[in-house]
Amino acid sequence: MAEVTQVERPVKLAANFPEIAIEGVTKKFREGATALENVSFGVEKGEFVSLLGPSGCGKSTLLKLVAGLSSVTEGTVTVNGMTPKNARELVSFIFQDATLLPWRTVERNVGLGLELERVARPTREETVRQMLKVVGLEKVAKRYPRQLSGGMKMRVSIARALVSRPRILLLDEPFAALDEMSRDRMNEELLRLYLEQQWTVMFVTHSVAEAVFLSTRIVILAPHPGRVAHVEEVRLPWPRTEETRMTEEFEHEVGRISRLLRGVKSGEAREVA
């Protein structure tokens, strides 16, 4: 078995400052479903935290609370010391079912937010150009969504989210519809951007390999009601590249996290504080 390598933080932390603090959060829907019960954990500035857990354990609900799109029933969520609603400017959300406007070209989809904010055209065009470059889509700026592959559409929605220059990125299963090769490429691309932009990230996925490859930490949620079952530091060195997936350490981490997740699915997990 591979020796566990020293884990280094990819982004230097300014201080031990939880950029996202989730404390004793319970979310009940009017229909009676308790989506989350007493969920607590923090995400430090510059961390990449993935949420794993069976369908219905409250992953999307939790991201929506952090984004200020929904409010808690009990407990508190703070983002950079503010309420999520007040912190909205810092946050970009890429949804599970991200859709582009079919009648707008790529560049006009990416620039939509800036148009709504009435940003002057030259500034808008320059920002859009930069963001398309970041995601490697300069060449398809004039195309319409129907002329793009699934991976390209995803990159357009990432570019659209980046236009507001967020510090915090919330991603809800952004690569679920992609084949494995494209997903691997997108993961590498996302890591490159994460390191360059020094974002704080919360990422939802059903893929253990994806979570291990990307994250500094993984939070495993258990369902009915949604609660934290495990919080795990990913024991894998940085930087992570294509080759990382071929290492024994990687395989070992995927195995370790998969076993924890299976325990949750089969109902063995005990709630932790």
Determine contact, residues 208/254, Cβ cutoff 8 Å.
yes
- Name which of 203 and 250 has its Cβ closer to ligand ATP: 203
Rg (CA), the chain: 19
Pick the closer one to Mg ion by CB: 58 or 151: 58
Q: Does residue 161 contact residue 93 with C-beta atoms inside 8 Å?
A: yes
> What does the per-residue mask of binding to ligand ATP show for 208-237, with x meaning CB under 6 A?
------------------x-----------
CB of 201 to ligand ATP, least distance (A): 17
Find which of Mg ion, ligand ATP, none residue 46 binds, CB within 5 to 8 Å per kind: none
Stretch that binds Mg ion, among 57-65, 73-81, 109-117, 160-168 (CB under 5 A): 57-65
By CB under 6 A, name the one of 57, 114, 132, 260 that touches ligand ATP.
57
74-87 core/surface letters (b: 16 or more CB in 10 A; e: else): ebebbbbeeebeeb
Shortest distance, position 176 Cβ to ligand ATP, whole Å: 9
When asked if residue 58 is in the footprint of ligand ATP (CB under 6 A), the reply is yes
61 interacts with, out of Mg ion, ligand ATP, none, CB within 5 to 8 A per kind: ligand ATP
Residue 239: asked if its preceding bond is cis (omega within 30°), the reply is: yes
Do 249 and 256 contact (CB within 8 A), yes or no?
A: no
Q: If DSSP codes are grouped into helix, strand and coil, which group holds residue 52?
A: strand
